[in-house]
Amino acid sequence: MKKSVLFGALAAAGLAATGAAADTLEEVQARGAVNCGISTGLVGFASQDANGEWQGFDVAVCRAVAAAVFGDPTAVNFNPVTNQVRFEVLNSGEIDMLARNTTWTFSRDVDLKLEFTGINYYDGQGFMVPKALGVSSATELDGATVCIQKGTTTELNLADFFRANNISFEPVPISTASEAQQQYLAGACDVYTTDASGLAATRASFESPDEHVVLPEIISKEPLGPLVRHGDNEWGDIVRWTLNALIAAEELGVTSANVAELAAGTDNPEINRLLGTEGNLGEQLGLSADWAVNVIKAGGNYGEIFETHIGENTPIGLARGLNAQWTEGGLLYAPPFR
């Protein structure tokens, strides 16, 4: 019953937003900044530094879109939103886009009337336990208490996994990643489950990360990506092709260090089209010819952003894995710029 009421409210909000956001690009340009929804706090993906500035892998997507539109990656209003309200906030028009470790699913696309603009991280759900618990597999968690964020795909996957393995669990509902960390460390639950990247980020923030183990099981596919409202096609194109520009730039060897030089013209037609020295791709998006140059200058290409915020040389320590370029055995792939 509660679910139906919530979905009805979201649908109504979506209908209201359709008219209000008929041309989001014009609204964003008039406002002078992108309103971007992000996590309430997840180290490596969206967290505030000592100066109160938002930093992270998802934050970089917001800044890249701002750079595409304004040539200025700081032209962003960051709006931290919880799992429970993130879709309602987007559909109501309070934010222009959401870049918040959110899984692309059928119901979110079709029922909630949202538009995923691509995948910026291929993830999967995992489990973290204290090493002292002496558990080496998730199948040994019969009767465990599990901290789980309400309103997420991980909540549904968790029930499926325990049912399939004929074991039981007691859920401990939490609202945010920071609450999960507090409850888990306080011993309110034996297990914390979320996307494997989120577990790595959470563990990296612990005082003694080596005292905690991420179990080997990955129990789901979690394609994470930025999203906009259904029917917001022109704005969706800008967010989609900004992400594609980051991915294509890495494949083509365009970096924050060499983009200015390459923007003068190269022997590679696709690089020239990407950087605006051939064709009119920027004009087709309603942007300047050098929109992708500004995107890459903002924080580097996809690989540079990955390595800066969550890569193997950061406290998060994630390997590229499925998020490597398709030419390197991964799933990362941008459609052609032509």
Domains assigned to the chain: 26-120+225-328 (3.40.190.10), 124-221 (3.40.190.10)
User: In this predicted structure, what is the pLDDT of residue 83?
Assistant: 87
The angle that helices 196-204 and 177-185 make with each other, rounded to 10 degrees, is 60
pLDDT at 8 over 70: no
Which pTM does this prediction carry? 0.88
pLDDT at 3 over 80: no
Q: What is the DSSP letter of 23?
A: T
Indicate the pLDDT class of residue 152, thresholds 50, 70 and 90. confident
User: In this predicted structure, what is the pLDDT of residue 297?
Assistant: 98
Q: Please say whether the beta carbons of 236 and 166 come within 8 A.
A: no
User: In this predicted structure, what is the pLDDT of residue 98?
Assistant: 98
Q: Which residues does residue 126 pair with via DSSP β-bridges, in sequence order? A: 194
Max CA distance (Å), the chain: 63
Q: Which residues does residue 34 pair with via DSSP β-bridges, in sequence order? A: 76
Q: Which residues does residue 154 pair with via DSSP β-bridges, in sequence order? A: none
Indicate the pLDDT class of residue 154, thresholds 50, 70 and 90. confident
Phi, then psi, of 322 in degrees rounded to 5: -65, -20
Greater model confidence, 4 or 75 = 75
Indicate the pLDDT class of residue 105, thresholds 50, 70 and 90. very high
What residue spans of the chain are helical by DSSP H? 2-20, 24-31, 57-70, 86-91, 106-110, 153-164, 177-185, 196-204, 233-252, 259-262, 269-275, 281-285, 291-299, 302-309
pLDDT at 303 over 50: yes
Dihedral angle of Cα 196, 251, 273, 68, to the nearest 10 degrees: 30
- Residue 221 structure tokens: 């596919």
Percent over 70 (pLDDT), the chain: 93
pLDDT at 55 over 50: yes
pLDDT at 17 over 50: no
